[in-house]
């Protein structure tokens, strides 16, 4: 690594990669990281109890430090324990927390630090380009990210006057000073949505954060099977959306209206009823068009945008499943189960986002 840490030189950035059974993706991630240029950095992989070839892959990259996080303390999530272990050993002025399933574009590390500095941001986070494969991923992932883009608008996140905070743990760059000031991941040890929790702490402390789509810097393939997709979103969805029952019902209703208007149009045309055909066709175009452009703003392909209406009922299913599993303490991820106490703390944290939004809505209504 020509630009990496050498000798006693303090690196500008410490890249911390938590990895638990990531042999399918870690090699690509590290190859993209070791080739970064234009800035000094170190890479720390925290092997979180992997039982596959994760550790061997990490150790095959010269200069990459491989750490063990130690036993999982009571009340901690596995990821928080891993990244905290890495942060304690990191020596950079900036910390980049990034997942093992990411691939980083050349020069993106130096550009991200420069972007944060130019905007005076203590925390910068990118939402990576999402690499999706297969029918179900193409159907539901655009729906989920369209909802996220609506709920966590970058303009609100970077607005100091707004309490809305967001970050994506797949790429989270934070100044060491700011990280220490808010207590790092130790202060949010139980959170299953640690990226948003950390962003909320930074912003509450009066520091600036930036959050945007980062397809020009990083891409990721989050899931490699439907089972992984279901488990991952069951862990996260109820924490991201504070009114899951209302949202699930709304999206199911939207799907039903699209199906009914489309079916009505086809049947009316077949039976030569032009007035009904025109009404049904108009309703279908309006409903599908509105949904289509909402999906397109989430930065997915045209093919995924066309397919994604089928993802509406699947999104509702995953959202309701997430609520149920959190309520009953059955949330699992990477072979660990998080009980009701951890789930309750996580849901309470997610609900606070809803409280912030409700308060802001009332303020806008009565103080235009």
What is the predicted pLDDT for the residue at 27?
Answer: 97
Is the confidence at residue 54, as pLDDT, over 90? Answer: yes
pLDDT band of residue 71 (cuts 50, 70, 90) is: very high
The answer to the question of residue 355 being in a domain is yes
What is the predicted pLDDT for the residue at 343?
Answer: 46
Per the CB < 8 A criterion, the answer to whether 123 and 209 are in contact is yes
Mean pLDDT of 229-235: 94
The answer to the question of residue 3 being in a domain is no
Is the confidence at residue 356, as pLDDT, over 60? Answer: no
Residue 113 sits in a domain whose CATH number is 3.90.550.10
Is the confidence at residue 351, as pLDDT, over 80? Answer: no
What is the predicted pLDDT for the residue at 361?
Answer: 33
Are residues 105 and 23 part of one domain?
yes
First-to-last C-alpha distance (Å) of the chain: 54
Residue 42: phi and psi, rounded to 5, are -130, 155
The answer to the question of residue 2 being in a domain is no
What is the predicted pLDDT for the residue at 24?
Answer: 95
Are residues 175 and 74 part of one domain?
yes
Q: What is the mean pLDDT of the chain?
A: 86
The answer to the question of residue 235 being in a domain is no
- Angstrom distances, CA of residue 154 to CA of 97, 124, 165, 168, 274: 20, 11, 9, 12, 45
Are residues 157 and 303 part of one domain?
no
Is the confidence at residue 2, as pLDDT, over 50? Answer: no
Are residues 144 and 21 part of one domain?
yes
Residues 6+ apart with CB under 8 A from 243: 354
The answer to the question of residue 139 being in a domain is yes
The answer to the question of residue 111 being in a domain is yes
Are residues 215 and 104 part of one domain?
yes
Are residues 216 and 258 part of one domain?
no
Are residues 353 and 280 part of one domain?
yes
The parent domain of residue 190 ranges over: 13-225
Are residues 221 and 248 part of one domain?
no
What is the predicted pLDDT for the residue at 83?
Answer: 97
DSSP string over 110-179:
HHHHHHHHHTT-SEEEEEPEE---HHHHHHHHHHHHHHHHHHS-HHHHT-TT-------TTEEEEEHHHH
Mean pLDDT of 46-55: 96
Residue at which a domain ends, from 197, 225, 253:
225
Are residues 221 and 357 part of one domain?
no
The answer to the question of residue 252 being in a domain is yes
Written as six digits, the tokens of 339 are: 């009980």
Residue at which a domain ends, from 198, 225, 252:
225
Please classify residue 366 by burial: count the beta carbons closer than 10 Å to its beta carbon, then call 0-12 exposed, 13-18 middle and 19+ buried. Answer: exposed
State how far the Cα of 201 lies from the Cα of 183, in Å rounded to an integer: 9
Are residues 338 and 282 part of one domain?
yes
Cβ-based neighbour number of residue 127 at 10 Å: 24
SS3 at position 13: strand
Are residues 201 and 294 part of one domain?
no
Mean pLDDT of 170-186: 97
Residue at which a domain ends, from 193, 225, 257:
225
DSSP string over 33-102:
HHT--SS-EEEEEEE-S--SSHHHHHHTSTT-EEE---S--TT--HHHHHHHHHHHH---SEEEEE-TTE
Q: For residue range 300-311, list pLDDT tens digits in order.
A: 877 776 777 888
Taking phi over 0 as left and psi of -120 to 50 as alpha, with beta for the rest, 64 belongs to: beta
Are residues 191 and 299 part of one domain?
no
State how far the Cα of 278 lies from the Cα of 204, in Å rounded to an integer: 52
Per the CB < 8 A criterion, the answer to whether 185 and 214 are in contact is no
**pLDDT over 90 percentage in the chain:** 62
**Count of domains for the chain:** 2
The answer to the question of residue 71 being in a domain is yes
What is the predicted pLDDT for the residue at 360?
Answer: 39
């Amino acid at each position: 690594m020509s630009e990496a840490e050498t000798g006693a030189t303090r690196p500008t950035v410490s890249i911390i990669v938590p990895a638990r059974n990531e042999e399918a993706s870690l090699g690509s991630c590290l190859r993209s990281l070791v080739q970064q240029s234009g800035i000094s950095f170190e890479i720390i992989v925290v092997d979180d109890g992997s039982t596959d070839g994760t550790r061997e892959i990490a150790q095959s990259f010269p200069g990459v430090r491989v750490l063990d996080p130690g036993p999982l303390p009571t009340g901690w999530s596995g990821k928080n324990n891993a990244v905290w272990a890495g942060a304690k050993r990191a020596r950079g002025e900036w910390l980049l927390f990034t997942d093992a399933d990411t691939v980083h574009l050349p020069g993106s590390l130096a550009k991200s630090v420069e972007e944060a500095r130019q905007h005076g941001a203590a925390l910068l986070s990118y939402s990576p380009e999402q690499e999706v494969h297969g029918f179900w991923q193409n159907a539901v992932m655009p729906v989920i990210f369209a909802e996220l883009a609506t709920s966590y608008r970058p303009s609100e996140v970077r607005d100091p006057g707004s309490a809305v905070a967001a970050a994506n743990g797949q790429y989270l760059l934070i100044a060491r000073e700011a990280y220490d000031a808010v207590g790092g991941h130790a202060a949010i040890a139980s959170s299953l949505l640690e990226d948003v929790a950390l962003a909320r702490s930074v912003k509450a402390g009066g520091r600036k954060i930036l959050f945007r789509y980062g397809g020009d810097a990083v891409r990721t393939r989050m899931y490699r099977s439907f089972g992984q997709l279901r488990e991952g979103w069951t862990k996260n969805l109820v924490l991201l959306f504070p009114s899951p029952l209302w949202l699930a019902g709304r999206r199911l209703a939207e799907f039903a209206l699209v199906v009914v208007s489309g079916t009505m149009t086809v049947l009316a045309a077949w039976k030569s009823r032009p007035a009904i055909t025109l009404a049904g066709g108009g309703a279908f175009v309006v409903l599908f068009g509105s949904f289509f452009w909402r999906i397109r703003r989430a930065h997915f392909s045209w093919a995924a945008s066309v397919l994604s209406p089928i993802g509406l009922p699947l999104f509702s299913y995953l959202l309701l499943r997430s609520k149920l599993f959190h309520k009953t303490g059955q949330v699992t991820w990477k072979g660990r189960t998080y009980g009701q106490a951890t789930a309750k703390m996580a849901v309470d944290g997610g609900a606070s986002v809803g409280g912030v939004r409700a308060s802001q809505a009332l303020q806008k209504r009565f103080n235009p």
